[in-house]
Amino acid sequence: MTKQSASRTKIPPAAQGYRMPAEWEPHESTWLAWPHFRGDWPGKFEPIPWVYAEIVRTLARHERVEVIVNDASWEQRARMVLEKADALSDNVSFHRWRTNRVWTRDSGCIFLTPPAEQTDAGPLALHFQFNAWAKYPNYNFDEKVGERMAKAAGARVVQPIFADPLGEKHRVVLEGGSIDVNGCGTLLTTEECLLSDTQQRNPLMDRAAYEQLFADYFGVRSVIWLDSGIAGDDTHGHVDDITRFVAPNTVVTMIEPNEQSENHMALHANLGRLKNAHTSDGERLEVVEIPMPRPVVFEGRQLPASYANFYIANGAVLVPVFNDPNDRIALNSLAELFPTREIVPIYSGDLIWGFGALHCMTQQQPGR
């Protein structure tokens, strides 16, 4: 590393002009990890690779797909499934890296883009520490995925650091599913995920510390703090299950009209905050409400089924559906919001047994 590049790493990315782009901005590719851990879908693993094949087939029509596989034998299995599903193409590449789980949104790096005027500046990737949502002991392979993704993409790796009041530095724990940005300086997150006593991520960081982190590393000037997530969420309230930006001043948010549902009060409280929120430009949000699907329950446990866990690709929006009457409302709403993109429903009734869906399993690599 040269002296110049070493000194640049001490300057926060935002001060260098880097920012986290919105998901609807152009992608170079989408990263995902091929499913292999049966423990994530006990009793339901068999259909999961075929759901992945459907996702890869759709994505590969619009952008490159980078598929992480455990080893050569798992690559062979993935190729077989993809070929049978007519999903294997020149737009699909494989990377043989061990993983514990497949939720690349959380374990992978977060790519930033340089300022447009700096044509010689390359991409940058934030490699946050990953601790498996402070719930699972086996994450040693997943913790390495972010840096491997970054290096494969030719991006400079930065590990975000927080300095406590005594000046001691700590790597920051943060998952991609806990935040959502509009690419213009505003970020969504939840207090349950980052500030509650149960989350066990960065106990020394308070609201002000997080807002400074978002400013330094993402180029964010305004943070909209929602209250809590939905029932069944295994991540302490990730925002990508409840509220998402779909345009600089527009969000989609989940609502639960059934007052008997345990989601009713939490989502109603979030809706109130959104109606009073402003972007970094001082604009009020346009809030599009989508009703939750009926509870999806398996083996007596409610699962985090939500239409908000959609994924925006270059020419398509992949939307989780659950054979529910509200599927049509969600698909129609997103079709109106993304008139130039193909709206692709992906049945996720089996996938959600792993406590994640389309957004949780993908991570975008933005283009220039």
CA distance 198 to 190: 13
Verify whether residue 360 is a known catalytic residue: yes
Please, are residues 190 and 247 in contact by the beta-carbon 8 Å criterion?
Answer: no
Residue 124: closest CA among 90, 99, 147: 147
Please, are residues 353 and 365 in contact by the beta-carbon 8 Å criterion?
Answer: no
Q: Which residues contact 230 (CB under 8 A, 6 or more apart)?
A: 237, 241, 242, 254, 263, 266, 267, 292, 304, 306
Q: Which residue has the tokens 């283009």?
A: 367
Side chain identity at residue 205, one-letter code: M
Which of 109, 184, 193, 360 is flagged as catalytic?
360
Helix (H, G, I), strand (E, B) or coil at 171: strand
Please, are residues 25 and 366 in contact by the beta-carbon 8 Å criterion?
Answer: yes
CA distance 349 to 85: 19
Please, are residues 318 and 291 in contact by the beta-carbon 8 Å criterion?
Answer: no
- Which residues carry out catalysis? 360
